[in-house]
């Protein structure tokens, strides 16, 4: 996860998260098996795992979505715990994004 930016959200965040992405980027989510992960069915599943250990969840499975020049609204995850969000550039390009809410 080198060269990725963590978008910090509270552990039990319940509101949608909107990001403005300029250029080409990947959004990464690290999932907990206790959560409802249907929102990520169309995301690319990566063949490695992380271990982000929290009080109520262990986030381990990594998925990503390629986005370009758009506003994207993300589900926070849950219902047990919000899923961590990382963002990174495609082909080492600069990451330009803004959190809208």
pLDDT digits (tens, 9 = 90+) for 19-62: 999 989 999 999 999 999 999 999 999 998 889 998 889 999 99
Query: pTM for the full model?
Result: 0.91
Higher-pLDDT residue of 33, 9 = 33
Which residue, chain included where needed, has tokens 């080409």?
24
State whether the Cα torsion 34-40-42-46 is positive or negative: negative
3-class SS at 82? strand
For every residue of 21-57, DSSP letters joined together read EEEEEEEEEEEETTS--GGGTTSEEEEEEEEEE-SS-
Please state the domain extents for the chain: 5-99
């Amino acid at each position: 996860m080198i060269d990725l930016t963590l978008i910090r959200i509270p552990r039990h965040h319940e509101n949608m998260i909107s990001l403005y992405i300029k250029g080409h980027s990947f959004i990464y989510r690290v999932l907990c098996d206790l959560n409802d992960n249907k929102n990520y069915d169309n995301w690319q599943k990566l063949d490695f795992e992380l271990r982000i250990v929290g009080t109520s969840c262990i986030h381990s499975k990594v998925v990503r979505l390629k986005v370009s020049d758009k506003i994207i609204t993300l589900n926070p995850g849950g219902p047990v715990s919000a899923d961590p969000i990382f963002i990174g550039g495609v082909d080492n390009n600069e990451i330009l994004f803004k959190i809208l809410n």
